Structure 1
Amino acid sequence: MTTSLSTRAAWYEKNGEARDVMVVGSLPLKAPGRGEVCVRLATSGVNPSDVKSRRARPLTDPWVVPHSDGAGTIEAVGEGVSKQRVGERVWIWNAQWQRPHGTASEAIVVPEAQAVKLPDNTDFAAGACMGIPGLTAVQAVHLAGDENLRGKKVLVTGASSAVGHYVTQLVTQYGGQVIGTVGSEVKAAHAKSAGAVETIFYKTEPVVERLKAFSQGRGVDVIIDMDFATASQWVTTGGLAPHGELIGYGSNVVGDIPLTFRPLLFNSIGLKFFLVYDLLPADRTWCVNRLNELLVRGQLQHTIGARFTLDQIVKAHEAVEAGQLGNVVIDL
């Protein structure tokens, strides 16, 4: 494939609903240049951010092959890359970050650092869950304190989501007690399977009151959050203990979010935010190494909720939009 001029892929040329804009066919594929590798992909991971981008992020290229995450085997390397990497099983991060060619493709060329060796005990489907869900979870828990979480009470918003399920596992492994927000009984069971002690049905239950009951009236010590627009209100009304921290990696509102300053100041609340696509190099290296360490040790549960073929990419995107439990993966 690396010597040919094309690869089979799925792409879109304008924003819109998946069934209206997705196309499957052949696209150009360059040979790997200096510092690059060509990966024959076995799987491609579909994340909510892929859906949001396809719907609304303005295109800066004639076409976009979606998806940042995937896994496969290196089949060719460019100048400066060890030929010993040919044949290596890898997982990929940031494939479609600030570039048009993501992993919804039978082959892809990326900088070699973005093709991370996949441990032998980890299959390609799980490998396609590492780039966004895995790295987000590891960085969030790292910012929350890792070993220092022992004995602390932690709210994980969206504890049954792809990221939240990994976060819940990691916090529990470090000795923290997780209470997670969920939207259904099935999702509650999924969160508890990862180690959550309690769950909150955030659509029908008073979240702050539940948090106070869980924490003997203090509020939880840490919130690891996927929707700051909502969680910010819990923080300022007593859901987070004095000197507590909120670690945020997303929000359902992208515009201005009002905050009540006085409770933040007088309770010495800490707010930390990060974008998983834009980690500092040292942070990225630490997270990648930590994630692979967890994989080698078999310390992560992976939930593949649904699998599709490339020709079924519309169904794959619609599954994510419908809130599919577990990760959605495309087999290539």
Structure 2
Amino acid sequence: MKALIHEGKAGFSGLSYGEIAERVPGAGEVSVRLKTAGLNHRDLFVLNRHLPSDPPLIIGSDGAGMIDAVGEGVHTVKVGDEVMINPGLGWQEKSDAPPAGFEIVGLPDHGTFAEKIVVPAENTVPKPTYLSWEEAGVLSLAGLTAYRALFTRGKVTSGMKVFIPGIGSGVATFLLQFAKAAGAEVYVSSRSKKKCDRALELGAHQAIDSNEDWSKALKGVKMDLVIESVGAATFNKSLEQLRSGGTIVIFGASAGDEVTFNLRTFFYAQQNLLGSTMGSAEEYKEMLQFMERHQLKPVIDEVFDLSEFDRAFQRLEEAEQMGKIGFIIRSEML
């Protein structure tokens, strides 16, 4: 089958679109013939985490398609069912942190940038009928990350003031939509005026330039909740916008993962600092129910043919996107 394969060299130079053997599902597993998939920042990180000495790897964590075959003992789905893939492996129930052994589709096991993928049957869920294939294919990883950070960890409620630095990523656009649907007042920042304008169209209360003085731009408004993923470049600025007793949740560190901050100021203000990553199968189902109730759809930036992966990766690496980048997978086996 055709797939996007990483092997032989670290980074992007080890990536190629070619042939690899498909696998037959074992007991408790299903094979999904993929129609669409979604690109994530994780895929960039995997290119350096997957070593040249490791076996060839199909990357990719998000995808949607149709059940192509079922393994022994699978009765929850049948051939022809339209499904989305929950990329979290081994995390079923909501908990304080992922259990030992938790992994994500696309490393160390094969991922979704291929004509087919074999996953545990429990990692497939029915595709919501109101979503297109492109929307379903880009949804899972970013949507689940946003849902856990905002609801499970951040405990967002109606009327809260929520700040999302660095609007533009798939997770950030989900955070904006989810927080708005929950009744929060949402503030965002970006260096791009185009992204700020788009965020306002999506319902942001205010969108500020990341390069300006945030306190002045926000006119002294303090936040109940800040969801951080930029990292060292913005962490202290984000902390300054947090009210006493407020909460900051961190799920990423794209611009540096080491920070220094004033502990005395932090504990006098009785503030809360929480980490978050992905989410459980329980939260995944909660997220889909929330989205369907509010008829929320992913913000899609651009969709490429899987063979055009180089253009898609370049767009993601240069942070040009507003929302999710997707892939169409044209199966040559049909």
Cα distance in 1 between the residues matched to 2:49 and 2:24 = 31
Report SS of the residue matched to 1:28.
coil
Q: Deviations 1:21-48 (Å, cap 9, x if unpaired)?
A: 2222211222111111100000111111
Counterpart residue identity of residue 220, structure 1: M
Question: Matches of 2:285 and 2:297 in 1, distance apart?
Answer: 18
Matches of residues 158-169 of structure 1 in structure 2 within 5 Å? 158-169=166-177
On the 8 A contact 2:31/2:117 being kept in 1, the answer is yes
Structure 1 outlier segments of 4+, above 4 Å:
none
Q: Deviations over 1:2-31 (max 9, x none)?
A: xxxxx211111144453x322222112221
TM-score, with normalisation over the residues of structure 2? Answer: 0.87
Q: Secondary structure at the match of 2:295?
A: coil
1:12 corresponds to 2:12: no
Q: Deviations over 1:210-261 (max 9, x none)?
A: 34x151xxx211101112323431255x311100000110012555322321
Structure 1 residues 17 and 120: alpha-carbon distance in aligned structure 2, compared to 1, 3 A threshold:
same
Q: Could you give the per-residue CA deviations for residues 256-303 of structure 1, whole angstroms, max 9, x where no partner exists?
A: 322321111101110111121xx4xxxx13321122213433521322
The DSSP-based 3-state class of the residue aligned with 1:119 is coil
Q: Tell me whether 1:131 sits opposite 2:140 in the alignment.
A: yes
Residue 57 (structure 1) shift: 4.8
Q: 5+ unaligned residues in a row in structure 2: which ranges?
A: 88-103, 330-334
Match status 1:157 vs 2:182: no
Larger relative CO (CA 8 A, sep 6+): 1 or 2? 2
* Pairwise CA distance, 1:79: 1.3
- Confirm whether residue 293 of structure 1 aligns to residue 289 of structure 2: yes
Q: CA deviation at 1:54?
A: 1.1
Q: Which amino acid aligns with 1:179?
A: Y
CA shift for structure 1 position 168: 0.8
- 1:179–1:198: 8 Å Cα contact kept in structure 2? yes
Structure-1 residue corresponding to 2:324: 327
Counterpart CA distance in 1 for 2:149 and 2:160 is: 15
Q: Indicate the residue corresponding to 2:65 in structure 1.
A: 72
3-state secondary structure, aligned to 1:320: helix
Tell me the equivalent position of 2:86: 93
Give the CA deviation at 1:178: 0.8
The 1:93–1:61 alpha-carbon spacing in structure 2 relative to 1, beyond 3 Å, is farther
Mapping for residues 223-234 of structure 1, pairs under 5 Å:
223-234=226-237
Structure 1 counterpart of 2:325, one-letter code: V
Aligned to 1:315, the other structure's residue is in SS state: helix
Give the RMSD, CA atoms, in angstroms: 2.0
- Taking the aligned partners of 2:106 and 2:56, their CA distance within structure 1 comes to 14
- What does 1:228-243 align with in structure 2 at a 5 Å threshold? 228-236=231-239, 238-243=240-245
Task: Tell me whether 1:313 sits opposite 2:309 in the alignment.
Answer: yes
Cα deviation for residue 100 of structure 1 reads 3.4
Report the CA distance shift for 1:87/1:167 in structure 2 as closer, same or farther (over 3 A): same
Q: Deviations over 1:136-171 (max 9, x none)?
A: 11111112213x2x2221111222321111111111
Using the aligned pairs only, state the percent identity.
27
> What's 2:126 paired with?
117
In structure 2, the residue matched to 1:106 is: 115
**Which one has the bigger helix percentage?**
1
* Structure 1 unaligned residues grouped into runs of 5+: 1-6
Separation (CA, whole Å) in 2 of partners of 1:56 and 1:289: 29
Aligned CA distance change for structure 1 residues 57 and 21 (closer, same or farther; 3 Å): closer
1:56 deviates by 5.0
TM-superposed CA distance for 1:101, in Å, is 1.0
Q: Which residue of 2 aligns with 1:3?
A: none
Question: Is residue 38 of structure 2 the alignment partner of residue 45 of structure 1?
Answer: yes
Q: Distance in 2 between matches of 1:139 and 1:84?
A: 26
In 2, Cα distance between the equivalents of 1:97 and 1:260? 38
Residues 298 and 256 of structure 1: CA distance in aligned 2, closer, same or farther (over 3 Å): closer
Q: Could you report, residue by residue, the CA deviation over 1:38-95 in whole angstroms, capped at 9, with x for unpaired residues?
A: 0000011111121122145536731121110011011111112117432111111326
Of residues 226, 244, 247 in structure 2, which corresponds to 1:245? 247
Q: 1:57 to 1:253 in 2, by over 3 A?
A: farther
With over 3 angstroms needed to count, the CA separation of the structure-2 counterparts of 1:194 and 1:15, relative to structure 1, is farther
Contact 1:50 1:66 in 2 (8 A): yes
SS in 1 for 2:58: coil
Distance across 1 between alignment mates of 2:293 and 2:159:
23
* Cα distance, 1:83–1:227 mapped onto 2, change above 3 Å: closer
Checking the alignment, whether the CA contact within 8 Å between 1:93 and 1:130 is kept in structure 2 is no
Q: Which residue of 2 aligns with 1:303?
A: 299
- After superposition, what is the alpha-carbon deviation per residue over 1:92-137, rounded to whole angstroms, capped at 9, x for unaligned? 1326354231111000001112212111111221112222111111
